[in-house]
Amino acid sequence: MTRFLVVLTDVRPPDGTRRDERTSPERRRQVVGTSSREAADRIAGAFTALGMVRAGRQRVKVIAVGRRPRHPAL
């Protein structure tokens, strides 16, 4: 089963280097876990209505976690 995380993060100011979320992720403000994509999309839609997101100071990300491969290796 695929689970989804809806993450509300602060937007970092550009520093001229390439952004790499694995080495220096953006600061998380809120994390919500769901078991369906529809629920994740509804929560993300609610987050996008926030003033800080609309002003471009925060961003919303929907991340699939625990996804199983479609064709398991034999």
Confidence of residue 14 (pLDDT cuts 50, 70, 90): confident
Cβ-Cβ contacts under 8 Å for 30 (sequence gap 6 or more): 7, 8, 47
Identify the pLDDT of residue 74. 57
- Name the pTM for this structure: 0.78
Q: Whole-angstrom distance between the N-terminal and C-terminal Cα of the chain?
A: 20
Identify the pLDDT of residue 72. 63
The percentage of residues in the chain with a pLDDT greater than 70, rounded to a whole number, is: 88
Task: For residue range 25-40, list pLDDT tens digits in order.
Answer: 889 999 999 999 999 9
Q: CB of 40 within 8 A of CB of 34?
A: yes
Identify the pLDDT of residue 15. 75
